[in-house]
Amino acid sequence: MKRNLRVVIARLGMDAHWRGSIVVARALRDAGMEVIYLGNQLPETIVDAAMQEAADIIGLSTLSGNHMALAPEVIRLLREKGMSGTPVIIGGTIPPDHIPKLKEAGISEVFGPGTPLKKIIDFAFSCN
């Protein structure tokens, strides 16, 4: 029996916003994915949770501008721990000129404010 996609979702660092990450987490859950919601976490904890939960995808949420430091750190730690094949997506308020840099660092996709939930769901399923 094939298990559902398992997605670990976290807000990067001490980012105070929560609404977008909760909306996306619920949409992924309603689409049939198993969602492990971590709330605010630092890269080490996010990667440890992804390993423990055998995550298929990691979703990061940011609004505070910490994404250029913390998201690449998540990628670095995944590579260091042998999970470089785990896709990492990020959502939030991200300046357009940061998107190519994030993708170059290894982020699979970036979703800005107003992205249709179906687009995020479809992308997550395409990672399987």
Mean pLDDT (whole number) for 25-51: 96
pLDDT beyond 80 at 2: no
- Spatial distance between the Cα atoms of 114 and 1, rounded to a whole number of angstroms: 35
Q: Which of 86, 107, 80, 97 is nearest to 12 (CA)?
A: 107
Q: Which residue has the tokens 């995944």?
A: 78
* pLDDT tens profile 64-112: 888 999 999 999 999 999 999 999 999 999 999 999 999 999 999 999 9
Give me 42's structure tokens. Answer: 């630092």
Count of C-beta atoms within a 10 Å radius of residue 11: 26
pLDDT for position 74:
97
Give me 70's structure tokens. Answer: 């913390």
What's the predicted TM-score (pTM) here?
A: 0.94
For 17-54, give one letter per residue: b (16+ CB within 10 A) or e.
eeebbeebbebbeebebebbbbeebebeebbebbbeee
pLDDT for position 1:
65
